[in-house]
Amino acid sequence: MRLKYTILFVEDVAASIAFYERAFGLARRMIHESGDYGELDTGATTLSFSSLRLMTALGKTPGRPEPEAPVFEVAFETDDVPAALERARTAGARVVQEVRAEPWGQTTAYVLDADGYLVEICSPVHGAS
């Protein structure tokens, strides 16, 4: 098996995808003509978005992100965490943690996206194996 995609449940798929394009420089793969589903090109695993309306119509009861008590994060790896954080900040992301060097050899920063999901911006891990 392989991880194919992660889907974030959002109010407005097109707006969320546009935010990720601006904030993280990702390329839009597609938005379905219904506007209820879309994907970004993020490499081997796709970051997808589904509307809350569609999920409700499918019989699901999607929760909303709780920025003060997240239960997961999306992480984007880059060689230039400070520049990536500044791009996200300029696009309207709310900074949760400024750039920080971690003891395990990684540089990290955290933001909240436009929907309140926690996003980590991180470098590759450089440390002892």
**Confidence at 129, pLDDT banded by 50, 70, 90:** low
Residue 127: predicted pLDDT: 62
Residues of the chain with CATH 3.30.720.110: 74-122
Show Cβ contacts of residue 129 under 8 Å, excluding neighbours closer than 6 positions.
none
pLDDT at residue number 78: 97
The CATH code belonging to domain 5-57 is 3.10.180.10
Q: At what angle do helices 13-24 and 81-90 cross, to 10 degrees?
A: 140
* pLDDT digits 0-9 by tens, 17-75: 999 999 999 999 999 999 999 999 998 899 999 999 999 999 999 999 999 999 999 99
- Distance between CA 5 and CA 19 in Å, rounded? 19
Mean pLDDT of the chain: 95
- The 3-state DSSP class for residue 21 equals helix
Residues of the chain with CATH 3.10.180.10: 5-57
Class of domain 74-122: alpha beta
Percent of the chain with pLDDT over 70: 98
Q: Is the pTM of this model over 0.75?
A: yes
